[in-house]
């Protein structure tokens, strides 16, 4: 049986050369090879192309490389979680390429499988697709995405045996599993290294043939950044909770449902075992339960797409990000409940970017908007300046076209029967006159 060399973090960091493309596993700081990244930050290595879902957090993980000026370009799906990354990109200090989360995961999986690229409906008709080849396949516009490979991959697993077989813990598979296949040199940071044979074959997630070196490094709470613990204080105003309750009423027993961040996450607090609803999170989990009541964090619990520690219900399962988005694009998700910035008369959605604002990340929104069987948007009816969010035509960058099935605001519920924006319900305390006054879009009234 192969024996993989065990090295220290400093030795591993020296294997990255100036100008290399480096893949970094992790979702936020969960499953993040933080010790390897910090060792790399101690070197003089520069002009790196960084590929990962996000560039760590401020001063942690990839965020430390960014602060040091070691990154010349970053490719990822959600930079907003690190203000330093947003500032560096928007100022032109660092070049960047933004990809939808599922597209990024699949591009890495393709690169690792020796596939040159693929077509996907995700991002068609949006700013993300500009400059990319497109074609119509089975009547649907699809965007060509090239496979991604790197010179070096830094990944994080929970256990390894001396043959390099890896086992991940809970939602820590995320991008790690695909990245282990997609680089010329793969270095796995692990919590524990055991003799070969101690990880049962059926528990091996990444076979040792993909791994070149092992590094043992112990996680601390500080390494987990914002996922280290759960805050017990959570105040929710009545109007937001009303939107969550109304969204829950649209779900039925047995539905597989993905909840976006913001108002949609409140739906999770309302779901009971009797509802029989299976929550999906795009970073790799089915069967998401409520947040832990003991204040524990990602050291002891899985995390959701908001990087918040959650519990696992009976029958839950874990998988990697590529498989998670295969579920989404393959239309195995019955409903997605997402936030919105604008919805228009043609059921178009804008929810990921506002020109001039410190936002830089689409995450899984484009994949979910295209792939979920039903899309429900929850949002406040107006912006802080009083302008309508339900508009004749979206002016903000589009997430997807013609995808919205239902809009729930603090004032009203709209649907699209016969492809026409239709008011079907008033929310508690709202009047028809108020809805008309605060809605710039034209709509049909069909209130029971």
pLDDT digits (tens, 9 = 90+) for 50-77: 999 999 999 999 999 999 999 999 999 9
Query: What single DSSP character describes residue 79?
Result: -
User: Can you tell me whether residue 114 is helix, strand or coil?
Assistant: coil
Q: In Å, what is the CA distance from 194 to each residue of 59, 162, 199, 204, 235? A: 32, 6, 8, 13, 45
Please determine, for residue 358, whether its predicted confidence score (pLDDT) is greater than 80.
no
The mean pLDDT value for 193-201 works out to 96
Cα-Cα end-to-end distance for the chain: 70
Please determine, for residue 240, whether its predicted confidence score (pLDDT) is greater than 60.
yes
Rounded to the nearest integer, the mean pLDDT of the chain is: 94
CB 120 within 8 A of CB 143: yes
pLDDT of residue 273: 83
**Least confident among 91-100, 192-201, 235-244:** 235-244
Q: Which residues are annotated as catalytic?
A: 282
pLDDT digit string, tens, across residues 281-320: 999 999 998 888 888 888 899 999 888 899 999 999 999 9
**Least confident among 17-26, 232-241, 391-400:** 232-241
pLDDT of residue 199: 97
How do beta strands 166-167 and 140-146 pair? unpaired
Give 352 or 228, the one with higher predicted confidence.
352
Residue 277 banded pLDDT, cuts 50, 70, 90: very high
The mean pLDDT value for 28-36 works out to 94
The mean pLDDT value for 326-342 works out to 96
Please determine, for residue 49, whether its predicted confidence score (pLDDT) is greater than 80.
yes
pLDDT digit string, tens, across residues 202-219: 999 999 999 999 999 999
pLDDT of residue 36: 98
Residue 417 banded pLDDT, cuts 50, 70, 90: very high
The mean pLDDT value for 74-96 works out to 93
Share of the chain above pLDDT 90, in %: 84
Query: What single DSSP character describes residue 290?
Result: P
262-285 in b/e form (b: 16+ CB < 10 A) is bbbbbbbeebeeeeebbbbbbbbb
Q: In Å, what is the CA distance from 71 to each residue of 18, 42, 47, 50, 52? A: 10, 14, 5, 7, 12
CA angle, 361 then 305 then 122, to 5°: 50
For the CA atoms of 47, 53, 57, 62, the dihedral, rounded to the nearest 10 degrees, stands at -30
CB 14 within 8 A of CB 38: no
pLDDT of residue 232: 53
pTM for this entry? 0.94
Phi, psi of 129 (to 5 degrees): -85, -10
> Which parts of 226-269 are beta strand (E)?
256-259
Edge-first strand listing for the sheet containing 134-137? 117-120, 140-146, 134-137
The mean pLDDT value for 240-267 works out to 93
User: Can you tell me whether residue 400 is helix, strand or coil?
Assistant: strand
Tell me the sheet residues that pair with 20. none
pLDDT of residue 233: 54
pLDDT of residue 388: 98
pLDDT digit string, tens, across residues 419-428: 999 999 999 9
Give 309 or 166, the one with higher predicted confidence.
166
pLDDT of residue 234: 60
- Is the sign of the CA dihedral 365, 366, 372, 377 positive or negative? positive
The mean pLDDT value for 249-261 works out to 94
The mean pLDDT value for 140-164 works out to 97
pLDDT of residue 227: 81
Please determine, for residue 174, whether its predicted confidence score (pLDDT) is greater than 70.
yes
Other CB atoms within 10 A of residue 176 CB: 30
pLDDT of residue 226: 81
């Amino acid at each position: 049986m192969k024996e993989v060399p065990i090295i220290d973090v400093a030795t591993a960091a020296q294997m990255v050369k100036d100008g290399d493309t480096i893949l970094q596993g992790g979702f936020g700081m969960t499953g993040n090879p933080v010790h390897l990244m910090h060792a790399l930050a101690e070197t003089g290595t520069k002009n790196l192309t960084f590929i990962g879902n996000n560039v760590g957090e401020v001063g942690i993980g990839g965020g430390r490389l960014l602060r040091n000026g070691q990154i010349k370009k970053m490719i990822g799906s959600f930079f907003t979680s690190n203000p330093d990354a947003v500032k560096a990109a928007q100022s032109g200090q660092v070049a960047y390429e933004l990809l939808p989360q599922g597209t990024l995961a699949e591009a890495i999986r393709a690169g690792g499988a020796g596939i040159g690229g693929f077509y996907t409906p995700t991002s068609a008709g949006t700013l993300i697709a500009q400059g990319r080849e497109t074609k119509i396949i089975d009547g649907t516009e699809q965007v060509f995405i090239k496979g991604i490979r790197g010179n070096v991959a830094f990944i994080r697993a929970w256990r390894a045996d001396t043959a390099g077989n890896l086992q991940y813990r809970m939602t820590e598979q995320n991008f790690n599993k695909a990245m282990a296949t997609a680089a010329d040199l793969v270095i796995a940071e692990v919590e524990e290294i055991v003799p070969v044979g101690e990880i049962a074959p059926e528990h091996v997630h990444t076979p040792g043939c993909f791994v070149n070196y092992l590094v043992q490094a112990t996680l601390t709470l500080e390494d987990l950044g914002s996922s280290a613990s759960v805050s017990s204080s959570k105040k929710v105003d009545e109007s937001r909770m009303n939107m969550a309750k109304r969204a829950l009423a649209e779900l039925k027993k047995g539905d597989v449902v993905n909840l976006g961040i913001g108002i949609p996450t409140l739906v999770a607090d309302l779901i009971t075992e009797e509802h029989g609803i299976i929550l999906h999170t795009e970073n790799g989990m089915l069967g998401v339960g409520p947040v832990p009541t003991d204040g524990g964090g990602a050291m002891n619990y899985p995390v959701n797409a908001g990087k918040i520690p959650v519990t696992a219900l009976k029958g839950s399962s874990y998988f990697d990000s590529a498989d998670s988005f295969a579920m989404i694009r393959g239309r195995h998700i019955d409903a997605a409940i997402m936030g919105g910035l604008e919805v228009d008369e043609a059921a178009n959605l804008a929810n990921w970017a506002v020109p001039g604002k410190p936002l830089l990340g689409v995450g899984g929104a484009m994949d979910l908007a295209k792939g979920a069987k039903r899309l429900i948007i929850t949002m406040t009816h107006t912006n802080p300046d009083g302008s309508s969010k339900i508009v004749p035509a979206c002016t903000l960058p589009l997430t997807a076209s013609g995808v919205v099935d239902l809009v729930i605001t603090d004032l009203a519920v709209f649907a699209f029967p016969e492809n026409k924006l239709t008011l079907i319900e008033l929310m508690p305390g709202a009047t028809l006159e108020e809805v008309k006054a605060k809605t710039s879009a034209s709509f049909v009234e069909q209130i029971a």
